[in-house]
Structure 1
Amino acid sequence: MNVIINGAAHELPSGATVAQAVQKLTEAVSGVAVALNDEVVSRGAWSSTTLSEADRVEVLTAVQGG
């Protein structure tokens, strides 16, 4: 299945979850936020929220600095 993660196409297995999409981009365990089709997905729902063909996932990571 093809999904868009941070603007780029990625191939994921059918039934893939938001958690799997996040793992495609980062191994960070904190400071990460996710939106699926413009709706924020709470961290507790990542592993139970399945993706569909052509879904848009935005993965945002916190950055320190000034």
Structure 2
Amino acid sequence: MTILVNGNTHDIEGEQTLEELLLEFEISKEMKGIAVALNDDVIPKKMWSDTKVQSSDRIEIIRAVQGG
């Protein structure tokens, strides 16, 4: 199935949870400063393992960084 991740097309095979998908991007729940939106709704980290990714979903991964 095809999804959008940060505006880029990404093909995944079979059903995946949001947590499984994020692990492909080397992002885990233990990381700080990470926010994830699924179809414009922010998904709390505690819900990542229960949230199924569907075909045509739009996922935005945001990493907070310090600047100066």
Q: Normalised by the size of structure 2, how large is the TM-score? A: 0.84
Secondary structure of the structure 1 residue equivalent to 2:53? coil
* Deviation readout 1:18-64 (Å, 9 max, x if unpaired): 11232333436221000000001000001110011010000000111
2:25 alignment partner in structure 1: 25
Secondary structure at 1:27 match in 2? coil
3-state SS of 1:54 partner:
coil
SS at match of 2:66: coil
Q: Aligned residues: percent identity?
A: 36
Q: Is the 8 A contact 1:5 1:21 kept in 2?
A: no
Matched residue count: 66
Deviation, structure 1 residue 2: 0.8
Runs of 4+ in 1 over 6 A off after TM superposition: none
- Structure 2 portions without partners, runs of 5+: none
Residue number in structure 2 paired with 1:16 = 16
Which ranges in structure 1 are unaligned for 5 or more consecutive residues?
A: none
Q: How big is the alpha-carbon RMSD for the aligned residues of Structure 1 and Structure 2? A: 1.5
* Aligned residue among 44, 47, 54 for 1:42: 44
